[in-house]
Chains A and B, each alone.
Chain A
Amino acid sequence: NAGVIQTPRHKVTGKGQEATLWCEPISGHSAVFWYRQTIVQGLEFLTYFRNQAPIDDSGMPKERFSAQMPNQSHSTLKIQSTQPQDSAVYLCASSWDWGDQDTQYFGPGTRLLVL
């Protein structure tokens, strides 16, 4: 089991550029989550999908951020017109979605630096 895979591991963008982050969940997991981690804000929930459908995006900044899950094997988080304050580690997690099997397992994260 390869665990949750996130690519790229590091990304540097210039202010105003677009950044797309990729996540491949653990095979068979039906729920995928995106989080952002910074020193100041800690671990913040962004959004999550269940069986590829968006369930809760209450943590997503209203502008510039979007997430998709086109198939069960990957999800993307896109940030348009990146700003320095978007610099963070973006973490993806996945889980089964039933009973006590809903423990989330995290990927290694993508460290985004916006210059």
Chain B
Amino acid sequence: AQKVTQTQTSISVMEKTTVTMDCVYETQDSSYFLFWYKQTASGEIVFLIRQDSYKKENATVGHYSLNFQKPKSSIGLIITATQIEDSAVYFCAMREGDNNNRIFFGDGTQLVVKP
């Protein structure tokens, strides 16, 4: 079973608007860690933001923020005031709270920001 699911294959938005990308995860652990990465057209994978499961406050970094809904096992990424350069593939990922640092990735959501 897939541990991390991103149902949106592709999203297209106009520049300067707000976009939300969905992600649901599956784990039996009480402690886990959630990440969002961005893969640019050049293939570079860049870390954006993380949410540790024990933290109640939604993480925010720059114009990225998270909508962490623990009862729904959901971790949405919100990008405000989108820019053309935000166009990329966005991956949601999870690390479970055991002693293993491997992370599980979703299939990614392609974001296209239009001028």
| A102 and B43 within 8 A (CB) | no
Residues of A within 8 A of B91 (CB): 43
Residues of A within 8 A of B50 (CB): 100, 103
Known: A42-B107, A104-B47. Is A56-B95 also a contact (CB below 8 A)? no
Q: Is the interface of B mostly helix, strand, loop or mixed?
A: strand
| B101 and A106 within 8 A (CB) | no
Residues of B within 8 A of A100 (CB): 33, 50, 52
| B102 and A48 within 8 A (CB) | yes
Q: Give the A-B pair count, Cβ closer than 8 A.
A: 50
Residues of B within 8 A of A106 (CB): 37, 44-47
Q: Chain A: how many interface residues by the 8 Å CB criterion?
A: 25
Binding site for B on A (CB under 8 A): 31, 33, 42-43, 45, 48, 50, 55-56, 58-59, 89, 91, 93, 95, 97, 100, 102-106, 108-109, 111
Binding site for A on B (CB under 8 A): 33, 35, 37, 43-47, 50, 52, 91, 95, 100-105, 107-108
Identify the 6 closest CB pairs spanning chains A and B, nearest first. Answer: A106-B45, A43-B105, A42-B107, A45-B102, A31-B101, A56-B102
